[in-house]
Amino acid sequence: MYRTHNCGEIRKSDIGKQVVLSGWVQKLRDKGFMIWVDLRDRYGISQLIFDEQRTSKDLLNQAKSLGREFVIQVSGEVIERASKNQNIATGDVEILVKDLEILNSSTTPPFTIENNTDGGEELRMKYRYLDIRREPIKNNLILRHQITQQVRKYLSNNSFIEVETPCLIKSTPEGARDFIVPSRINEGEFYALPQSPQTFKQLLMVAGLDKYFQIVKCFRDEDLRADRQPEFTQIDCEMAFVEQDDILKTFEGLIVDIFKKIKNIDIDPFPKMTYDQAIEKYGTDKPDIRFGMEFVDLNDVSQHKDFNVFNSAELVIGISVTGGNSMTRKEIDKYIEWLKTPQIGAMGMVYIRCNDDGVYKSSVDKFYDQSDLKNIADKTNSIKGDIIMILSGDKDVVRAQLSALRLEIAKNLGLRNSEEYAPLWVVDFPLLSWNEDENKFHAMHHPFTSPKPDQIGLLKKDPGSVKANAYDLVINGNEIGGGSIRIHDKNIQQEMFNCLGFTKDEAEEQFGFLMNAFKYGAPPHGGIAFGLDRLVAILGGSETIRDFIAFPKNNSGRDVMIDSPSKISKEQLKELKLKQNL
């Protein structure tokens, strides 16, 4: 038996007991005649003590030979500490060691196993098994476990059934790129890894399972960006005989439950905003509403003078920064410079200071008098002490730029508090989005999303204007989940495929099984999928999902710890009837 207790559970009430502990040497303080060792395991730290008077010479020498991260087993007596440590749960006691066994030695780790480590990202990833020994990463993984357990509990209690859908499925070129898996037994054929279990969960609704969920790995072979993983985890859900509100209600309940059970935070009912409103007011379909600074359309109060920049712009919009007049000129210039970087791409920014004496001071005083500026200030609800920041240009572009500026300012003003949570439903997404490059419509959500029932007639006449029964859950500016009511009528599904430019053969080839299933009594249904990695990160107060994944891949899709992907043998390729064509 390696232990009677773990390193986190010994208390004052255990004093006098003989205990056996196993764990890692976190720290060793050697005073010559006395040695303290902090012994660590997942559950905590226990202090071990060896001293000349009470410990045999051999044992003392053995203790002196210990190094950081050695794995040891000790037995001894729980005694009261002379100087207590209020910072740890076991701080009242220590173990007077009688026996010590070194279970495994350790060479010096490449970075310190401390909360604040000296290891850089690359090193931490290469030695991820050491990184996980650190409290913050360990706690992230425990948090992830707690959240998935709670999700499963909530959904099970609400009659959802977790069903595993297959991982080796069929490649469907629609959407992102599939990872493919050559089949050896079926020569010349390939499986694909699922980008999501979308069609399977719909088939489970056709199958009558009524309420489905699955916490499931999904795969996308995308060109990787920072903090995007080729494999990621979804909480995937689907319900039959529901309308949009049934779904929003059910999954609002799920999120409220998680925040309550995991963080003991009560979250108010989620506000709803249409996609169009979100774009107009925040310039994004995932607004962070922890703070204000809503966009104000200033065309009518800014395009009547000689300022050509505004006059020629499709849209002039501004935000009012409460108390922002305290910004120095230097700070403002920094924002302007930042706006001009290629990643944002603005031409410049106009600002209006609302001085305490009631005078407005702007960067365009040449064109606008006090009364013009007052009109703008009034329209943006600005008062003394505020600053108004204004961008202009093409609608879509300028909104995106102002959205970025809004977030940047909020970050700098400390308005993006990671301990505050502002969830929001964004609803009424467009069904389709026009792809300039391919000169055709793409599905905004996916090809199975139902148009608003009263707009089905528009599908032929003006597809671009059709709104969908689609919704996203946004928390603090992050898209946490998204879903839709699905099409359950095979004729409407066919029409949707037409809109997307599928020929009948292509639709049949790729989704024939689903269209076929719809012939046999498909119920109305809809669902949602949450990005687990992101959800856990947000509950963990971070936006770096890699820190909440046990073994993440880097920005090139590599696992630097196991060094994968890697070359495979010629024999393997030969068996798969493949040749490399580099």
Task: Restricting to residues 326-345, name those near a second copy by CB under 8 A.
Answer: none
CA 395 to chain CA centroid, nearest Å = 28
The answer to whether residue 491 forms part of the interface with a second copy (CB under 8 A) is no
The answer to whether residue 412 forms part of the interface with a second copy (CB under 8 A) is no
CA 517 to chain CA centroid, nearest Å = 34
The answer to whether residue 26 forms part of the interface with a second copy (CB under 8 A) is no
109: preceding bond cis by omega (within 30 degrees): no
- How far apart are alpha carbons 33 and 55 in whole angstroms? 10
Q: Which H or E run includes 235?
A: strand 231-240
Identify which of residues 204 and 391 has a Cβ nearer to a second copy in the complex: 204
- How far apart are alpha carbons 170 and 177 in whole angstroms? 12
Among positions 104-143, residues that touch a second copy (CB under 8 A) are 104-107, 109, 127-133, 138, 141-142
The answer to whether residue 475 forms part of the interface with a second copy (CB under 8 A) is no
- How far apart are alpha carbons 384 and 533 in whole angstroms? 43
Cα–Cα distances in angstroms (integers) from residue 159 to residues 93, 200, 242, 248, 529, in the given order: 47, 19, 14, 16, 17
Site string for a second copy, 531-560 (x = CB under 8 A): ------------------xxx-x--xxxx-
Identify which of residues 182 and 385 has a Cβ nearer to a second copy in the complex: 182
CB of 193: closest distance to a second copy in angstroms? 7
Q: How many CA atoms lie within 13 A of 47 on its CB side?
A: 22
The answer to whether residue 488 forms part of the interface with a second copy (CB under 8 A) is yes
* Number of residues near a second copy (by CB under 8 A): 126
User: Considering only residues 13, 64, 241, 337, which one is a binding residue for a second copy as defined by CB under 8 A?
Assistant: 241
User: Considering only residues 12, 29, 84, 184, which one is a binding residue for a second copy as defined by CB under 8 A?
Assistant: 184
The one-character DSSP state at 127 is T
CB of 553: closest distance to a second copy in angstroms? 7
Per the structure block, which two tokens stand in for 471?
């919704």
Q: Considering only 271-279, 306-314, 322-330, 521-529, which stretch makes contact with a second copy by CB under 8 A? A: 521-529
The answer to whether residue 497 forms part of the interface with a second copy (CB under 8 A) is no
* Closest of 213, 160, 138 to residue 483, by C-alpha: 213
User: Considering only residues 171, 478, 494, 542, which one is a binding residue for a second copy as defined by CB under 8 A?
Assistant: 171
Site string for a second copy, 284-303 (x = CB under 8 A): --------------------
- How far apart are alpha carbons 312 and 402 in whole angstroms? 18
Identify which of residues 197 and 430 has a Cβ nearer to a second copy in the complex: 197
User: Considering only residues 152, 290, 361, 416, which one is a binding residue for a second copy as defined by CB under 8 A?
Assistant: 152
- How far apart are alpha carbons 442 and 500 in whole angstroms? 6
The answer to whether residue 308 forms part of the interface with a second copy (CB under 8 A) is no
Cβ-contact 102, 43 below 8 angstroms: no
Per the structure block, which two tokens stand in for 138?
């360990």
The answer to whether residue 570 forms part of the interface with a second copy (CB under 8 A) is no
User: Considering only residues 5, 14, 22, 430, which one is a binding residue for a second copy as defined by CB under 8 A?
Assistant: 22
